[in-house]
Chain A
Amino acid sequence: MGLGDILPGGGVSATTGGFGAETPTFFTSKVDALINWGRMNSLWPMPFGTACCAIEMMASAASNYDLARFGMERMSFSPRQADVLICAGRVPYKLAPVLRRIWDQMPQPKWSISMGACASSGGVFDVYSMVQGIDTIIPVDVYIPGCPPRPEGLIYGLMMIQEKIREESLSKHFEHRAEDPALVALPRASAAEVVGLTGPFGNSTQQDQLTGGIIVAPDTVPDDLLS
């Protein structure tokens, strides 16, 4: 009875309250709110800007759309001092290890935004040199569609990150921040997932999706077409 019944996490008593893997308490939720408020209002973005989306990111930081009102005007170009990686623009395979390395260099807590169609899925560029979505390389928290997204779109995405932070809890600290050291600096998605991410044609119009071999017989044509 008492507070334990109405707080999230069910019955908790003073003996199990506190940080760590136990269920949250009233005290921890206040501390969570304070910490989350601090984190979300002073995010330091790491602008990994490559192409056109980077220009829209710069326009968001300029006076008309002004990221400074979110506490994000300090664009940190050193990943060691950054909180949120904004990958703005297309990422070719030559740049992929650089992106991965920068992501690995960011200390926890960190979040990432994939800004634009090219970062989210490869965009217009389903070609030999382009990464088909940076979520094959790094974990992504928020995807912002658009080519390029308007500054309002980027701001909305940043606000979604803020929402995500607001929902975090210190008692789930290890869940949020978990990173398997064995998987760091390797592609995030497995081979089958990566291939599956590139759409119905696999890698090329003639290549089989998983094996990479050349299909000799064409795909069967659906029989509900008129011609």
Chain B
Amino acid sequence: MDAILSLDWFLILTSLAKTLGIIFLIVLPMVSYTVYAERRVSALIQDRIGPNRVNMPISLLGFKKDLVLPLGGLGQPVADAVKFILKEDLTPAHVNKFYYWLAPCLAMVPAILTLAVIPFGSTFFGVPMVIANVNIGVLFVFAIASLGVYGIVIAGWSSNSKYPFLGSVRSSSQMISYELALGLSVVPIFLIIGKLNLSEIIQYQIRHGWLLFPFTAFFHSTWSELVHQLILWPWTIISFVVFTISIFAETNRLPFDLPEAETELVAGYHTEYSSMKFALFFLGEYAAMITGSSLIVVLFLGGWHFPGVPDGSQGWVWGLVNIAVFFGKVAALLFVFIWVRWTLPRFRYDQLMRLGWIWFFEIALVNIFITAGILAIFPN
């Protein structure tokens, strides 16, 4: 009894509230509306209109059409979800049942799990807006995010069919060649900041300016700090470019969508999947996009910080504003993801390997040494 009472119930309950809140109120709706945004933006880029028919079921007095807002299409994700749930859930006879059922979960879970360490706001009524404020933040993200490949590999293998298998083999080799560049490209950031904790990385960026735009701290930093930031700026930009492109590869987005490659592999690793199991892969992919963008925002774009906006200790309104700023930045990055997808064609397989092993691995490695050298000459 004492053991139960001595637990930190406040921490447990707030963590539970944060977990449920961020997953069900923010990330899952964001995932479904990213899918919608993907369809609308791709349509606009291709001079089409896109899904604009399914309206929001909004009613003023309970009648069918008493309130029609010009929100055409915003009901589309709801319709999609209903369709996925109602579709027949087919398990082909030739698959390995256990792994076939396991794979969609493995694709979905890591993408959501990485959100645990990402600080999505400052504080809200004194509660820090991060589910788990661990000191190994980024390492945790890399460790869990690379588990995502298991979902794809197991899906391809258990489907017992050649196209999913090819997709999953491609995916695993792609992951290996990009994870190195992904990990190495952020090492300069940790050399500069000296911390792995994502909240402290944001605190550093508030004091010294965002790593990608050091000018956000222009007015409250000394000249020597500014010069220091300016010397490091080109190298953080290189880090940013390599990291962002690696995130594209990590989340299987075009131009690196070789595991799915509709034109070559039917649908890649999820060819044999239907209804909600397919939807889990789909959700996992977009959730991975969101965690990837949040990671970019936290590491390079100052997280929830915006110049001139105070943090949550100044009142709960500012806490909310910080959360909105964070997800605004994430949404902007998601738009870039979509924009790039509908611009670039897919890389050929050998080009991808070349890019990963010959270019990004070396660039990231050299970048570490240059940053280390600069920091040795001009220490903080």
Is the A/B pair a real complex?
A: no
Q: Which residues of A contact B (CB under 8 A)?
A: none
